[in-house]
Amino acid sequence: MKIATLYDCFERHLTNLHIECETEVDFVVVVVERYLINMGGLGYNFGSHAEDTFTELCDEVNEMLKKKIYGHMSIDQYRNHLRSLAAA
């Protein structure tokens, strides 16, 4: 069974070009929640560390996002760039 990594969840959501308007905060929360749901479905139990894990993962995804969309003002602008590349 292949486990979706945090980066897999990140890339899948970032490259979803059907999403028209999303803030960075919303993006981070969605990616982390999907990752944790995936891990929970595989039997991982975060117990008393759930809040700390969530915060740490949010920080990690936020850092990944900054690096990935560098040169673009927002996620929406980055996705618009991807849309224009796909249309070409």
Angle 18-23-25 from CA coordinates, rounded to 5°:
125
Domain boundaries, the chain: 6-14+21-87
Higher pLDDT, 46 or 36: 36
| pLDDT per position as a tens digit, 48-62 | 888 999 999 999 999
Give the per-residue pLDDT at 88.
Answer: 80
pTM assigned to the model: 0.89
Q: Are residues 68 and 2 in contact, defined by beta-carbon separation less than 8 angstroms?
A: no
CA 63/CA 41 separation, integer angstroms: 26
